[in-house]
Amino acid sequence: MLQIKIKRLSDEVKLPKYQTAGSVGFDLEAQENVEIAVGKTALISTGLSFELPDTYEIQVRPRSGLALKHSITVLNSPGTIDSDYRGELKVILINHGTESFKISIGDRIAQAVINKVEIVSFQDVQTISNTNRDSQGFGSTGK
């Protein structure tokens, strides 16, 4: 099992945890009280900094319950935390709902997934291969 170093930025901050044995995402909790007005965004502190190995990232994703019940989602979803970033992980939330939404310290505001990524080199070419799909996109495969 991969070990990830986490720095708690205050003694009150809890380490993240997976909610079930089958969960691939762990919850991120708010470390401040915030009210997000309709149509507005907020940058929410988690009180955590991570040290990831090279070629790993954290993806910050919405929590489905917040999205379904309150229309609260992660604005830049998925947000990427790079392996060389050592600052506090913060979450950009947006309120797509019809009323203000209050967040309290300790509320689970997003989930995060740690992924191994491939670092690639790019080759400048004049042509690329054709496929059956080719350049068709944006609904080209039907409803």
CATH number at residue 9: 2.70.40.10
What pLDDT is stored for residue 110 in this prediction? 98
Is residue 73 a contact partner of residue 92, using CB atoms and an 8 Å limit?
no
Domain-embedded: residue 61: yes
Domain-embedded: residue 74: yes
Domain-embedded: residue 136: no
pTM to 2 decimals? 0.89
Domain-embedded: residue 100: yes
| Helix and strand counts by DSSP (H, E) for the chain | 1, 10
Mean pLDDT across the stretch 51-66?
Answer: 97
Domain-embedded: residue 123: no
Q: Which of 42, 38, 48 is nearest to 17 (CA)?
A: 48
- The whole domain housing 20 covers 5-116
Q: How many domains does the chain have?
A: 1
Mean pLDDT across the stretch 48-70?
Answer: 97
What pLDDT is stored for residue 60 in this prediction? 98
Residue 86: pLDDT band (50, 70, 90) is: very high
Domain-embedded: residue 105: yes
